[in-house]
């Protein structure tokens, strides 16, 4: 008997029929003798709808109250799934994040889980019940409702698995695993039977939304065995076939496996670039520019400072597009005059494309293949950043699809059977 945490995303619980299918699939696992805790998202589109409602009242909603509203989507699906399980004859209990003691900090709309009380779930499991928990939500030390950031149910699932010491956390979604890139953008993308934890962490942090970045961090910290698989296969697929169908996130590289040098391509659409032009090149300039942005709680990603010419340099960095206007305003109003820069320019239509693979450690020339491929497509690279297992470039947003497809082909990732 194993203890399994299964997480079902928005599409997987997007209709009454799909919720009934989830119930059938869960019962299949429970009937095989396993204890099952199920974490669910809100029905697809529901969280967007709730946030839009809040924005109709307040264009910049009060974060505490926004969480009160946004957290309700998951309360609907836990109740419906518990009913579906009971109507199929399986005892089940639904719980909100607060009821099972998902304790977080007070960073509304992006709270971090600090601890989870697992006794209540364990008691139900001992009684043979399926436990159904609302993803995406928790409560802070003052008892306020918090949410974990968009896509946060993945993190709820992994955190519950860690707290319970589960044998495995299974993330059921609308694709049957982790692909070489988003299959919605490249139909020739191929499914990876396994991916190393390090690669998954890079893919998620560079924009692949198949797993929320924090869920991968949690899995790494607590060594949770994590698998991504599809909820859209027939629910009565034999268990062994179901396990084989997904992608396992592994902690060790499989030495026997023939690995591609580049395992995957990630992209982030909503980037924006800001350039401070004609900055006097003296110590403390980077600090003065970036600390003003940091103090406004704006996250900076890529940073480039040019060679100085006649004592002046240009300094560029990227921020998320939703923060662009605020960041530009701060630089123009508070920084430019202060540091004596000539002007501040902005480009809100950038995107970041990254190649990821542990194989890069032992292969030279990967970055140059990337740059050659982009130049052959006439795509200008605006910024570059690298680490041991990734190379990222910032390009004009209009070339995103073209760049991802060309790189996918150039690194031999196209699935010959697809497309």
List residues binding ligand ASP (CB under 6 A). Answer: 9-10, 41-42, 47, 73, 135-136, 150-154
Residue from 49, 55, 184, 342 binding ligand ADP (CB under 6 A): 184
Site for Mg ion in 1-60 (CB under 5 A): 9
Q: C-beta of 36: minimal distance to ligand ADP in Å?
A: 18
Judged by beta carbon distances under 5 to 8 A according to partner kind, the member of ligand ADP, Mg ion, ligand ASP, none in contact with residue 47 is: ligand ASP
Q: C-beta of 346: minimal distance to ligand ADP in Å?
A: 28
* Cα 386 to chain centroid, rounded: 20
Q: C-beta of 311: minimal distance to ligand ASP in Å?
A: 48
**Tokens 């006097």, located at residue:** 280
> CB-wise, 124 or 199, nearer to ligand ADP?
199
> CB-wise, 36 or 50, nearer to ligand ASP?
50
Residue 93 CA: distances (Å) to CA of 70, 131, 255:
22, 5, 43
> 147-168 burial by CB neighbour count: b if 16+ within 10 A, else e?
bbeebbbbbbbbbbbbbbebeb
Interaction between residue 9 and ligand ADP (CB under 6 A)? yes
Residue 204 CA: distances (Å) to CA of 51, 143, 298, 356:
24, 31, 20, 11
> CB-wise, 7 or 93, nearer to ligand ASP?
7
201 vs 306: CA distance, rounded Å: 30
Judged by beta carbon distances under 5 to 8 A according to partner kind, the member of Mg ion, ligand ADP, ligand ASP, none in contact with residue 174 is: ligand ADP
Judged by beta carbon distances under 5 to 8 A according to partner kind, the member of ligand ADP, ligand ASP, Mg ion, none in contact with residue 208 is: ligand ADP
Residue from 40, 113, 178, 327 binding ligand ADP (CB under 6 A): 178
352 vs 271: CA distance, rounded Å: 7
> CB-wise, 175 or 331, nearer to ligand ASP?
175
Q: C-beta of 175: minimal distance to ligand ADP in Å?
A: 5
> CB-wise, 43 or 393, nearer to Mg ion?
43
DSSP string covering 169-195, please? EEEEESSSS-BSS-TTT-TT--B-SEE
Residue from 97, 151, 183, 357 binding Mg ion (CB under 5 A): 151
Judged by beta carbon distances under 5 to 8 A according to partner kind, the member of Mg ion, ligand ASP, ligand ADP, none in contact with residue 179 is: ligand ADP
Any idea what DSSP says for residue 129?
P
Interaction between residue 268 and ligand ADP (CB under 6 A)? no
**Tokens 């419906």, located at residue:** 80
Q: C-beta of 176: minimal distance to ligand ASP in Å?
A: 18
Instruction: Calculate the dihedral angle through the C-alpha atoms of 235, 236, 239, 240, rounding to the nearest 10 degrees.
Output: -110
Q: Environment class of residue 25 by beta-carbon count within 10 Å: exposed (0-12), middle (13-18) or buried (19+)? A: buried
Interaction between residue 73 and ligand ADP (CB under 6 A)? no
193 vs 299: CA distance, rounded Å: 34
Judged by beta carbon distances under 5 to 8 A according to partner kind, the member of ligand ADP, ligand ASP, Mg ion, none in contact with residue 210 is: ligand ADP
Interaction between residue 11 and ligand ADP (CB under 6 A)? yes
Q: C-beta of 253: minimal distance to ligand ASP in Å?
A: 29
Contact criterion met (CB below 8 Å) for 228 and 247: yes
> CB-wise, 211 or 394, nearer to ligand ADP?
211
Q: What is the CA radius of gyration of the chain?
A: 23
Contacts of 279 (CB under 8 A, 6+ apart): 285, 289, 312, 313, 314, 315, 339, 340, 341, 342
Site for ligand ADP in 201-220 (CB under 6 A): 208-210
Interaction between residue 179 and ligand ADP (CB under 6 A)? yes
Query: Contacts with ligand ADP: how many residues (CB under 6 A)?
Result: 19
Q: C-beta of 74: minimal distance to ligand ASP in Å?
A: 6
Furthest-apart CA atoms within the chain: distance in Å: 79
Interaction between residue 157 and ligand ADP (CB under 6 A)? no
Judged by beta carbon distances under 5 to 8 A according to partner kind, the member of ligand ASP, ligand ADP, Mg ion, none in contact with residue 178 is: ligand ADP
Q: C-beta of 392: minimal distance to ligand ASP in Å?
A: 24
Residue 16 CA: distances (Å) to CA of 12, 19, 22, 44, 298:
10, 5, 10, 12, 40
């Amino acid at each position: 008997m194993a203890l399994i945490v299964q997480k079902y995303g928005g599409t997987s619980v997007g209709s009454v029929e799909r919720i009934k299918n989830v119930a059938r699939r869960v019962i299949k696992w429970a009937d095989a003798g396993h204890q099952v805790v199920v974490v669910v998202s809100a029905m697809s589109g529901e969280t967007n709808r709730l946030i839009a409602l809040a924005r109709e009242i307040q264009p910049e909603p009060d974060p505490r109250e926004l969480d009160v509203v946004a957290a309700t989507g998951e309360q609907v699906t836990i109740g419906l799934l518990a009913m579906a399980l009971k109507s199929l004859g399986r005892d089940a209990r639904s719980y909100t994040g607060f009821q099972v003691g998902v304790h977080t900090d007070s960073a509304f709309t992006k709270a971090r889980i600090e601890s989870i009380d697992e006794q209540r779930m364990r008691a139900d499991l001992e009684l043979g019940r399926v436990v159904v928990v609302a993803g995406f939500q928790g409560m802070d030390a003052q008892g306020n409702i918090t949410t974990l950031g968009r896509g946060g149910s993945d993190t709820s699932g992994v955190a519950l698995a860690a707290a319970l010491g589960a044998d495995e956390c299974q993330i059921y979604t609308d694709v049957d695993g982790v692909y070489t890139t988003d299959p919605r953008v490249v139909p020739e993308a191929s499914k990876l039977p396994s991916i190393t934890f390090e690669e998954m962490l890079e893919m998620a942090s560079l924009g692949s939304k198949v797993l929320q970045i924090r869920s991968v961090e949690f899995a790494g910290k607590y060594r949770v065995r994590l698998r991504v698989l599809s909820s859209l296969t027939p629910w009565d697929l034999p268990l062994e076939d179901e396990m084989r169908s997904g992608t396992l996130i592994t902690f060790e590289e499989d030495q026997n496996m023939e690995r591609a040098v580049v395992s995957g391509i990630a992209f982030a659409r909503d980037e924006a670039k800001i350039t401070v032009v004609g900055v006097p090149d003296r110590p403390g300039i980077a600090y003065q520019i970036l600390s003003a942005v940091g103090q406004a709680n704006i996250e900076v990603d890529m940073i480039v400072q040019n060679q100085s010419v006649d004592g002046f340099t240009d300094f560029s960095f990227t921020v998320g597009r939703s923060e662009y206007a605020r960041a530009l305003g701060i630089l123009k109003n508070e920084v430019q005059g202060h540091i004596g820069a000539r002007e501040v320019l902005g480009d809100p239509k950038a995107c970041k494309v990254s190649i990821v693979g542990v194989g890069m450690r032992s292969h030279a020339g990967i970055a140059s293949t990337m740059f050659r491929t982009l130049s052959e497509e006439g795509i200008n690279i605006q910024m570059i950043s690298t680490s041991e297992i990734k190379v990222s470039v910032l390009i004009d947003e209009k070339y995103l699809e073209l760049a991802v497809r060309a790189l996918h082909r150039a690194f031999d990732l196209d699935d010959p059977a697809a497309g």
